[in-house]
Amino acid sequence: MSLLLLLWITCVPCVSTTPVLGPSERTQTGGSAAAAVASGLGEGQRLLSRAKRGWVWNQMFVLEEFSGPDPILVGRLHTDLDVGGRNIKYVLAGEGAGTIFAINELTGDIHAMKRLDREEKAEYTLTAQVVNADTDEPLEPPSEFIIKVQDINDNPPQFIEGPYRASVPEMSAVGTPVTRVTATDADDPVYGNSAKLIYSILEGQPYFSVDPNSGKFTTIKIALHGMDREMREEYLVVIQAKDMGGHSGGLSGTTTVTVTLTDINDNPPKFSKSLYEFTIPEDLPIGKMGGKVKANDRDIGDNAKSTYNIIEGDDQGMFEIITDSQTQEGILRLKKPLDYETRRAYTLKVEATNVRSEPGSGGPFRDTATVKIVVDDSDEPPIFSKPVYSLEVNENAPINTVIGMVAARDPDSTGSQVRYFIDRHTDMERQFNINADDGKITLAKPLDRETDMWHNITVTAMEVSKFSSLSAAAGGEGRPLDQISRAIVAIRVMDINDNAPEFANEYEAFLCENGKPGQVIQTVSAVDKDDPVQGHSFNYRLVPEIAKKFHLCVYVFSSLTDNSISVVAKHDAFRRQKQEMYFLPIIVTDNGNPPMSSTNTLTIRVCGCSSDGTVLSCNVEAYVLPIGLSMGALIAILACIILLLVIVVLFVTLRRHKNEPLIIKDDEDVRENIIRYDDEGGGEEDTEAFDIATLQNPDGINGYLPRKDIKPDLQFMPRAGQHSGPNGVDVDEFINVRLHEADNDPTAPPYDSIQIYGYEGRGSIAGSLSSLETASSDSDQNYDYLREWGPRFRRLGELYSVGESDRET
């Protein structure tokens, strides 16, 4: 292997080398000459042993950011093949070859073509090789080496995360850490002191301090005791980091740290005044605000929140104080109504207490203040003696009966007179009146307990001085609402015996005609709309003339509290043939004072019953048949009737189907079937209009013939005419009726319009299919042979003969 010799330009000024045999010398049989070495071999002495080729170089160095007018010589490559006259050249390849680094092909000198930055790339790996200058054929294998960029102090320290914001509680102890800041230097930390940083505070003393020799980062600490947020809340600290160990010539970088002191509860609440005075009207509604107090706190957030309490002067619980969460004010509210005539002033002691307390502070901070409340006299509405009055009145009491009285007074010191009114919205039927001066309630209409048992009305009261309009008697219109008092009056209508008892249901009783005497016909009960205190008790009796046939007995159910009676038959002589239904009047009387009675009718039907009392039939028609006729006889009679009906039906059917006389067929009797083609006929109206049966029907002469294609707007009533019988039909009268209908037909077209009559459509393009069309003209047809076909075709022959005679004429 050949040897490449590297000369260090920057580090090694002189290098001793030992000559090494080249490739051409290895082919000589006499060996190779040995190089003279510094170990003491004399000049001309030869080392006849074979030496192994080896590298005597490692790396090259180039200083970063170094620049000059000419390219910088980095180093030189040399091989033992490079002896005078050899045609070789050096080739450089790898990172930056040809762009950053260039080599002299003849001398092997390597130059840097541009200024290098170690922070961009610290080293470059390249490959050197010796090739034939003419053929570019490699003369030895390529050799790899490294060029390192040597660092200089060209980068200042930087605070990547800055600027910083930090917070620390106020009143923190000295040495309390605030935050940590970090600076970085892009220079090589291994080579020299280019990356060795020293920290210092440029602004922020004497409040804060840092450790100068902390390395990559440092911690800001509290350096002054008693830093109060209420005095100063925010501090700006400027931190510097300098490389080269802080020595002169080093580069530096700065950042800012904004330190905010957070609040602690170190200030008590303080009322702005020691005495608060409020004037409250005595008619202030309950729950409304009477005044506000506020205790200021220099703290912020939750540390400034306070609660308010009344600690003295409110023995009766007239007031309460709450805290407004938004403004931190104490809202004084009324809990009970005030009365100027009873008490005119109140003196309260209010306390404000912090919600939160700091540990070790001895409890929450608090402050007190005095609140003086003066009650202002107001014009109050009248006050009723009771909010609800309960009165009673008998039903059907006479008009102007006094039901009761309400009372109200003026609570003011003036003691004005009060007037009373009924709110007519609660007495729409105006059943009650009230005396405006004394509050007596009287009856305006009779009352019925069975219609309404309770009446609830509202009575209003106001001072006479406030009554300014006569329209106020209509129910309070025109009066100030805040000067009106209201009270509810509940009037109960007491019951009197004014309703007679009556049957509870509509009863329909049945009586077995073959029943025994004493049979129960019906059990009935009565009801009464009245409501006596002692309960209902009814007395039942019959009309005296009916008592001869029926009698009553009281039948009391053990599970019921009211009385029921049973109607019992006295004898067994009831027959449906004599009387099918009986109407039994029963008089029912109650136990009221005075007693009331009514007559109720019980309908009793006489029915046929089985032996066990089950009703079978209640119709009297079942007894029309003769007595003693058995069921077998009835069936026989019914069978005979059916047989007679069958015979009659058969006879009628046979009469309708008579046999026609036989026609003797003659050998000369030539017959053909006459086929009728294109039979279009008339429409439904034409067919019915010219039906001969219609002309012979006397009932249809004067009738109106309706059109089936339209619905006329007017209907013509048939006129009553004299029927002349089937054979004497008056055709003239028939034609006149039809003419009258045609003249008054609302659907008929106008007189001067074009009308089409008997229109049957266009002709058919198919033509006739009859074989009779073979003749060229009608004159060629001879119908005389029709007369020879026999009696059945005689009429046909006469018709065609007539047609020919007509054509001749």
Contact 220, 235 (CB under 8 A): no
CATH architecture of 502-616: Sandwich (2.60)
Is 212 a residue whose pLDDT tops 70? yes
The superfamily (CATH) of domain 158-262 is Cadherins (2.60.40.60)
> For residue range 415-462, what is the model confidence (pLDDT) as tens digits?
778 999 999 999 999 999 999 999 999 999 998 888 888 999 999 998
| Neighbouring-strand partners of residue 129 | 91
Pairing of strands 252-262, 164-169: parallel
pLDDT in tens, 57-100: 557 888 887 777 778 888 888 887 877 667 888 899 999 888 88
Cα–Cα distance for residue pair 481/670, rounded to 1 Å? 122
Q: Is 283 a residue whose pLDDT tops 80?
A: yes
CB 267 within 8 A of CB 298: yes
Cis peptide before 594 (omega within 30 of 0): yes
* Higher-confidence position of 619 and 291: 291
Contacts within 8 Å (CB) and 24+ apart, 546-552: 546/584, 546/585, 550/521, 550/584, 552/586
Average pLDDT score over the chain? 75
Q: How distant, in Å, are the alpha carbons of 617, 695, 724, 733, 738 from that of 702? A: 53, 11, 12, 8, 9
Query: Quick check: bond before 206 cis, omega within 30?
Result: yes
Question: What's the CA gap between 590 and 653, in Å, rounded?
Answer: 77
Superfamily of domain 59-150: Cadherins (2.60.40.60)
361: its two tokens: 């502070």
Give the distance from CA 264 to its chain's centroid: 48
Q: How far is 250 from 187, CA to CA, in rounded Å?
A: 12
pLDDT band at residue 164 under the 50/70/90 scheme: very high
Q: 271-376 in CATH: which number?
A: 2.60.40.60
Q: Quick check: 371 pLDDT over 80?
A: yes
Q: What is the b/e burial string over 228-266, where b = at least 16 CB atoms within 10 angstroms of the residue's CB?
A: ebeeeeebebebbbbbbebeeebbbbbbbbebebebbbb
- CA-to-CA separations, 763 to 678, 679, 774, in angstroms, rounded: 11, 13, 20
Q: Residue 737's pLDDT band (boundaries 50, 70, 90)?
A: confident
DSSP 3-state assignment of 785?
A: helix
State residue 31's pLDDT score. Answer: 31
pLDDT of residue 770: 47
Which residue from 318, 329, 325, 311 is spatially nearest to 370, judged by alpha carbons? 311
Q: How many CB atoms lie within 10 A of CB 116?
A: 23
Q: Is the pLDDT of residue 683 over 70?
A: no
* Domain definitions of the chain by residue range: 59-150, 158-262, 271-376, 383-465+482-494, 502-616
- What is the mean predicted confidence (pLDDT) over 652-666? 62
Q: CA nearest 430: which of 394, 399, 402, 460?
A: 399
What is the pLDDT averaged over residues 356-379?
85
Task: Tell me the pLDDT tens digit for each residue of 217-248.
Answer: 888 888 888 898 989 999 999 999 998 888 88
Q: Is the bond preceding 163 in cis, omega lying within 30 degrees of 0?
A: yes
Q: How many CA atoms lie within 13 A of 754 on its CB side?
A: 1
Strand 270-271 relative to strand 550-555, pairing = unpaired
Q: pTM here? A: 0.42
Return the minimum-mean-pLDDT range out of 126-140, 231-245, 492-506, 688-702: 688-702
Instruction: Please report the pLDDT score of residue 533 as a whole number.
Output: 64
Three-state secondary-structure class, residue 411: coil
- CA–CA separation, 223 and 669 (whole Å): 157
CATH topology identical between 59-150 and 383-465+482-494: yes
Find the mean pLDDT for residues 165-192: 88
The closest of 483, 391, 406 to 437, measured between CA atoms, is 406
* Residue 88, beta-bridge partner list: 132
Residue type, 703: G
Fold of the CATH domain 383-465+482-494: Immunoglobulin-like (2.60.40)
Pairing of strands 252-262, 289-296: unpaired
The predicted structure's pLDDT at residue 122 = 83
d(CA 58, CA 141): 17
Mean pLDDT of 118-139: 87
Least trusted range by pLDDT, from 248-252, 564-568, 784-788, 795-799:
784-788
Buried b / exposed e over 516-536, threshold 16 CB at 10 Å, is eeeeebbebbbebebeeeeeb
For residue 553, what pLDDT band results from cuts at 50, 70 and 90? very low
Q: Is the pLDDT of residue 604 over 50?
A: yes
Q: Express each pLDDT in 19-62 by its tens digit.
A: 333 333 333 323 322 222 222 333 333 333 443 343 335 578 88
Q: Looking at residue 288, what is its pLDDT? A: 93
